Amino acid sequence: MSKDIAILVARLIFAGVFIMAAAFKFAGMQDTAGYIAAAGFPFPLPLAWAAAVFEVALILGFVSGAYFSETCLLAGAYVVFLAFAFHGPSRWESNQAEFGFFVDHFTFLAGLLFAAVHGPGRRLAMTAGRLWK
């Protein structure tokens, strides 16, 4: 039972991180677009909306457990993209804290990869043929 609880708590932590990220985007879409533009990306407002919607999809995957491994892998790819796009080596010289932010993304990636391999657990997870166990 303790393994099931640990896995469920981990899923909720993953979801919580993306809930906060999506909430900040929805609360300040223009600010998010400005941050995206400052990183040099074109079409910052549509990209900000796409990021927020994508994060909501990740939240649903973590909370429901549906397509959990795929959700973890997509979240991992997204986290690595964010690390390089917004905290990559070009930013380290002007702000050493950016290196720490960059590395933090890879510790998050490690957790996501571990979760992808081990699955959503046996409790409160959508599976083929049954909605909830």
Distances in Å between the Cα of 6 and the Cα atoms of 21, 94, 113 are 23, 39, 16
130, part of any domain: no
Give the pLDDT of residue 32: 97
3-state secondary structure of 127: strand
69, part of any domain: yes
Give the pLDDT of residue 90: 87
- Could you tell me the residue range of the domain that residue 99 belongs to? 2-118
What's phi and psi for 42, nearest 5 deg? -80, 165
Q: How many domains does the chain have?
A: 1
Residues 67-79 have pLDDT tens digits of 999 999 999 999 9
128, part of any domain: no
Of the candidate ranges 44-48, 61-65, 121-125, the one whose mean pLDDT is the lowest: 121-125
Give the pLDDT of residue 3: 84
Residues 99-121 have pLDDT tens digits of 999 999 999 999 999 999 998 98
119 or 36, which is more confident: 36
127, part of any domain: no
125, part of any domain: no
Strand partners, 127: 130
Rounded Cα distance, 84 and 133, in Å? 38
124, part of any domain: no
Mean pLDDT for 57-70 is: 94
Name the residue among 37, 74, 73, 35 with its Cα closest to residue 54. 74
